[in-house]
Chain A
Amino acid sequence: MSVSAASISAPGVQQDSRSWPLGSVLKTGTVALQFALVALVFTAVRLESEAFRQVLYISVAAFPINHFLPLRFRLPFFVLLSVGIIIKILGVESAAWVFGIGLVFIGLCHVPAPVKVRVGLVAAAALALATFRAGWVDAPWPGGIWPILGAMFMFRMIVYLYDLSHQSAPTGPWRALAYFFMIPNVCFPLFPVVDYQAFCRTYYNEDAYKIYQTGIKWMLRGALHFILYRFIYTFLLVGPEEIQGAGDFFQHMVTTYLLYLQVSAMFHTIIGLLHLFGFNLPETNHHYVLASSFTDFWRRINIYWKDFMMKVFFYPLFFRLRKRGTTQAMILATLIAFFATWFLHAYQWYWLRGAFLFTTPDVVFWLILGVLVTLSVWAEARSKKKVVPASGPESAKLAAALALKTVATFLTITFLWSLWTSESLMEWKAMLLQLRHWDAAGVLKIGVACAALAVAAVAVGRDQWMIGAAARQRAAKAKPFDFWRSAAANGAAGAFIVSLALAEVQSHLSPTMVAVLESIEAPSLNARDEAALQGGYYEDLIQVDRFNPELQAKYSRQPKDYFDEWRAAMNTKRDDYLGIELTPSAAITYAGVTYTTNEWGMRDKPYTREKQDGVCRVGIIGSSHVMGWGVNDGEVCDAVAEARLNAEGLPCELLNFSVNGYDPIQKTITLRDKMLDFDLDAAFLFCHRIEKQWIVSHLVQRVKSGLAIVEPRIQEVLAASGATKDMSEPEIKVRLSGSGSELLRSFTTFAEACREQGIQSVWIFMPEKGRVTFFDRDIKELFECAEAAGFDQILDYSDAFKGYPEKELAISDYDDHPNALAHSLLAHRIFETIKTNDAVFAGGLAPQGEAPAATLAQR
């Protein structure tokens, strides 16, 4: 026989109350206030996308309406709200396609035919859709809907069909629509696999206020996870190219693993939001860092995925295989379930990204993890739990064992994670070579981290070693729900986070603390990501909109094929190390911005090679930021500074030689081959923090293409690294990355070339909006190299944007390049540098008429 859900127990649905007693109104108002506070937290700290924050605001407004509606109208209201939100985020056309395709799939599940026929129909429709996704057939719908469509249907359709075929959950049009189109899926391509049975069973299945309070708590926990993620991502993450020794490798594997916090942040936020509409769904992640075995890790890291795999694969397989014996059936079912997990991750990648994920690290990772979990299952199936006294040596022994097991599991998982997130086995192998180098700092780092983890394991996981504690823990959970205490705790937590974002509060904090907070509030990614370092599977999935221009356009209004048209008009390819240059005498108006180059290929007005007497001339070289991507010709920092200098009677010409994407080697070549022909008095070399990553990235391409490297210092570095054309790109990258600051020796060439020509060399650090700089070891290294290079002057413009919110300084939501305001602030610093800095100009410029502009122009 089959036991249906409905026949076993009816959920304890909250009574439909038509009257609104004062207490209920007060509680609902308090929940609404907390919900608004959560939205404020996400806004103040700029968590998640703008699209999601809009969803939050709408949800806050919709919450009391939903609550005060009679129960029978709430699910239809939730559906209408979800549909409205999808239309708002995707637009009418894309939303219509999502609904149309979705309704076809839901309809196929309900065709009056045997289950096998329905499964076949859905599979056939999915295959047809897959051909569109692969691009074999042109789809009539916008490409931006793919990740959202995939996120809504790729797994939930399997669960839905499974429950439908076993009649293990109630059905109906509102339930189906709510399940597939639920908020806030439209904002999250990576979405937890919500179980249909649980979705139906938990809907208002206990006190509504208790459900709401859980939702608020989880959303705040999600916000905290987001903040922790940003802190780790910004300040602690060590990229593969930065690993120099065992300590760095340990930090790399731990921080890469902890990036999963972004996933748990999203999942808590999503499920928390659903609680506010009555879906009392279970927890998504549970202290996964403290897993004490591989099965324990599997149970904690993504509970919804584990439940999905158990339901659809493990249990059916186990029941088919159990004639072979329970243990053997469990082992076989686990192995097959892990194979399915690997395949389904690749399948997920396909729908979200448009291509199957099939990399060696991915296969090896799942294979090893599958074997480890299977061994763990085998051990657990054989073991018997022992009675342990509450105190005494036995208990202490068990606590110690728990601590050791937790640390061992953590080290193994993070080690595997470093493999999984590597671009190739070669890159991982190259990283492992760094384990040969141990020093005291590295040992201390690893020791402190492991000791802290062991203490946390014993403190948090004490229910596993203290007798009766498990019961006490459950009893604590079973304590009568206290709404007001819960609201006070949530309110205090939310208010604390918001307060840290307030300028009034920050004015009382140390500059370091303020800088850290400002950095955490910054929504942009770190230097390594800007240098195209992709952090691994989950990061790629989360940033799927970054790799899908059409979806990104929906989220942030970025034009399709952004940059392509501009590049075609303004960049000319070269077959030497420079690779590209600005096309001479070109002009284009792109995205409302006018770009013009002069006859020499400068983003500037016309200049002659020879300067006029009495005029000082400064050559400026940088990348897209200084070139003025996103601002009009007259708004670029050098143009603004030049106009101001001349307006104040200081005859000066600032020639902008900057080209988008140039690294220090390209800038040095430009100085030598172009800038020095222009009768300069000084050369300003602008750098920002990803210079080394750019060099590595460009050098890998040049080495791989067999291009001769003419810069002698870089030739030496290349020779020392042993990188050759025959190696794989990851190997070349790792070898070059290991060269550290040697790669920045082109700074020395730049300074020497200036010295030989008798012109001043000035190295300037260019800030990226208001980002914190002093913790960043990339920046520290840049300054050290600049100082070693022998520049006449080293200037730090880090505080150029101080006091301005980041969003006021970028050209758009989707592009962090400085806008006209930011350029005017940079211009002010350039102006001040030229006008007042005697060290640079040996006395500074005298106003015209008072004295000849001798310092620069006549030297």
Chain B
Amino acid sequence: MNDDAQSIQNSVKDYLLKTFLPGEDPDSLTPDTPLISGGILDSISTVKLVTFLEEQYKVEFQAHEISSDTLETLTDIAKTIQLKSAARA
């Protein structure tokens, strides 16, 4: 994993812990923790997360991209952001 992916993961992890999992043990949120199927992200929090990602990384999501393929884990999120950033560049 390169540094960019790691920093994205760290940033998103901080956001998730602060916004949706206050008081949660940070070690429990691993790069492979299932966020959608695990119940951490519901529809409202998914929308909030996407808004955060768009503002933080200056990328744009489309409705059909909101799925387990793109947002299921921190790893998936980082990959998605990287792909979108690369496409923008």
- Name the A residues within 8 Å of B48 (CB-CB): 326, 381
Contact with B along A144-167 (1 / 0, CB 8 A): 000000000000000000100010
| Complex Cα spacing A198 to B28, Å | 26
Knowing A315-B66, A318-B63 touch, does A471 contact B28 (C-beta < 8 A)?
yes
Whether A468 pairs with B23 at a CB distance below 8 angstroms is yes
Residue B79 lies at the interface, judged by CB distance under 8 Å to chain A? yes
Most chain-B Cβ atoms within 10 A of its Cβ — which of A326, A388, A471, A475? A471
Most chain-B Cβ atoms within 10 A of its Cβ — which of A5, A9, A201, A326? A9
From B37, B43, B65, B84, contact of A310 by CB (8 A): B43
Whether B69 pairs with A9 at a CB distance below 8 angstroms is yes
Residue A485 lies at the interface, judged by CB distance under 8 Å to chain B? no
Contact with B along A462-505 (1 / 0, CB 8 A): 00000110111011010000000000000000000000000000
Residue A385 lies at the interface, judged by CB distance under 8 Å to chain B? yes
| Complex Cα spacing A489 to B86, Å | 49
Whether B47 pairs with A387 at a CB distance below 8 angstroms is no
From B25, B37, B62, B76, contact of A2 by CB (8 A): B62
| Complex Cα spacing A314 to B84, Å | 23
Chain B residues with a Cβ closer than 8 Å to the other chain, count: 37
B37: min CB distance to chain A, Å:
6
Knowing A3-B83, A319-B63 touch, does A168 contact B24 (C-beta < 8 A)?
no
Most chain-A Cβ atoms within 10 A of its Cβ — which of B23, B42, B64, B70? B64
Residue B10 lies at the interface, judged by CB distance under 8 Å to chain A? no
Is the interface on chain A under 10, 10 to 19, 20 to 34, or 35 or more residues?
35 or more
Residue A377 lies at the interface, judged by CB distance under 8 Å to chain B? yes
| Complex Cα spacing A3 to B76, Å | 11
| Complex Cα spacing A168 to B69, Å | 9
Contact with A along B21-40 (1 / 0, CB 8 A): 11111001100011001101
Residue A386 lies at the interface, judged by CB distance under 8 Å to chain B? yes
Most chain-B Cβ atoms within 10 A of its Cβ — which of A8, A168, A201? A8
Whether A377 pairs with B44 at a CB distance below 8 angstroms is yes
- Name the B residues within 8 Å of A319 (CB-CB): 61-63
| Complex Cα spacing A679 to B77, Å | 90
Residue B11 lies at the interface, judged by CB distance under 8 Å to chain A? no
| Complex Cα spacing A151 to B69, Å | 26
- Name the A residues within 8 Å of B70 (CB-CB): 3, 8
Whether B25 pairs with A468 at a CB distance below 8 angstroms is yes
- Name the A residues within 8 Å of B62 (CB-CB): 2, 166, 319
A110: min CB distance to chain B, Å:
19
Knowing A168-B64, A197-B67 touch, does A326 contact B43 (C-beta < 8 A)?
no
B17: min CB distance to chain A, Å:
11
Which single residue of chain B is at the shortest CB-CB distance from A319?
B63
Whether B44 pairs with A8 at a CB distance below 8 angstroms is no
- Name the B residues within 8 Å of A384 (CB-CB): 19
- Name the A residues within 8 Å of B84 (CB-CB): 1, 3
| Complex Cα spacing A166 to B19, Å | 31
| Complex Cα spacing A168 to B80, Å | 13
Whether A330 pairs with B44 at a CB distance below 8 angstroms is yes
Whether B24 pairs with A470 at a CB distance below 8 angstroms is yes
From B21, B23, B68, contact of A198 by CB (8 A): B68
B83: min CB distance to chain A, Å:
6
| Complex Cα spacing A258 to B19, Å | 35
Whether A282 pairs with B37 at a CB distance below 8 angstroms is yes
From A162, A295, A377, A470, contact of B64 by CB (8 A): A162
Residue A311 lies at the interface, judged by CB distance under 8 Å to chain B? yes
B57: min CB distance to chain A, Å:
13
Most chain-A Cβ atoms within 10 A of its Cβ — which of B34, B66, B69, B84? B69
A210: min CB distance to chain B, Å:
14
Binding site for A on B (CB under 8 A): 19-25, 28-29, 33-34, 37-38, 40, 42-44, 47-48, 51, 61-70, 76, 79-80, 83-84, 87-88
12 residue pairs of the A-B complex, CB under 8 angstroms, read: A3-B80, A8-B79, A9-B76, A168-B64, A201-B69, A316-B64, A330-B44, A385-B19, A385-B21, A467-B23, A467-B24, A474-B28
**15 other contacts beyond A2-B65, A162-B64, A197-B67, with CB at 8 A cut-off?**
A2-B62, A3-B65, A7-B83, A8-B70, A8-B76, A8-B83, A9-B69, A166-B64, A168-B65, A385-B20, A386-B22, A387-B22, A467-B23, A468-B24, A474-B33
